[in-house]
Amino acid sequence: MCGRYTLAAGPEYIADYFHIDGPIPEFQPSWNITPGGDIPVICQAPDDGRTCSLMHWGLIPHWARAPDSKYKMINAKAETLSQRPAYRDAYKHRRCLIPANGFYEWHTTAQGKQPYYIHRKDDGLLAFAGLWEYWEREHIINSCTIITTIANPLIRSIHDRMPVILNQENYNSWLDPHNTDTNSLVNLLGPCDNNLLDSYRISTAVNNPAHDNQTLIDRID
C-alpha cells in the first residue's frame, strides 16, 4: 500500500517537470503527507494541456450520499480497477499523476513495525499513477487515490505491495483523456524497475503525523 509519502519539490519545480499549462496552486513541502489532506495532482483536460490542482487524498465516489469517513479509499488495487464500482468510471475517464519525492512503508518484525523510506536512487521525482473523482452536492469535492500493485523484489522484503510508479515516457499514455480503452493501460500498472529505487530504515518518529521535517528521512543503522 502507500499511506504516507514526501513531496519536497515546490510548485515551480513541479510545473516545469510535468510541463503544466497555466497556474499551479501554492503548497508547502512536506516530509509526512498523510491521508485526508489536500495534495497536488496532475491531470489533463480533453482539449487542453496538463493542469495541477489540490485534491483530497481519499477518493469519494461520485455516487456517495455524503463525503463520509467510511470512504477511506486512499489506495486502489491495480488488479481490480475495472471491477470495483468506485474506481471503474474514473479508471476510464479520470486518471492522474501524483508527484512525490519518496514514500514510507512499514515492515512487521518481532519487535514491532519498522519504518523504511523508499526513494529514487538519483533523488529525482516519482509520479504515482492515480485516479480522481468529483463529488457534487451542496459543494464540490475533488478527491483522488493512489494505485498500488504487487511489490518488486526490493520492496517485497518490506511489504507485499507498492505504489504504481510511472516512467516519464508513459505519462502521456496514462493521462490521455481520449483513451477509454483500459485494456491498453494494464501493462503500465506493474511494479517499477527494481534498480530505480533505494530503501533504508528510518526512525519511528514518522509514525506520528504531527512530525513533519526533513529529519524524518534520516537513515538509521
State the burial class of residue 59 (Cβ atoms within 10 Å of its Cβ: 0-12, 13-18, 19+): buried
Q: Which of 2, 43, 144, 192 is catalytic?
A: 2
Is residue 90 within 8 Å of residue 177, measured between CB atoms?
no
Task: Calculate the alpha carbon distances from 90 to 76, 102, 117, 140 in Å.
Answer: 11, 25, 30, 16
Q: Please provide residue 14's backbone torsions phi and psi, each rounded to the nearest 5 degrees.
A: -60, -45
State the burial class of residue 160 (Cβ atoms within 10 Å of its Cβ: 0-12, 13-18, 19+): exposed
Can 105 be counted among the known catalytic residues?
A: yes
Angle at 135 between CA 14 and CA 66, to 5 degrees: 130
Q: Which of 43, 52, 96, 105 is catalytic?
A: 105
Enzyme catalytic residues: 2, 105
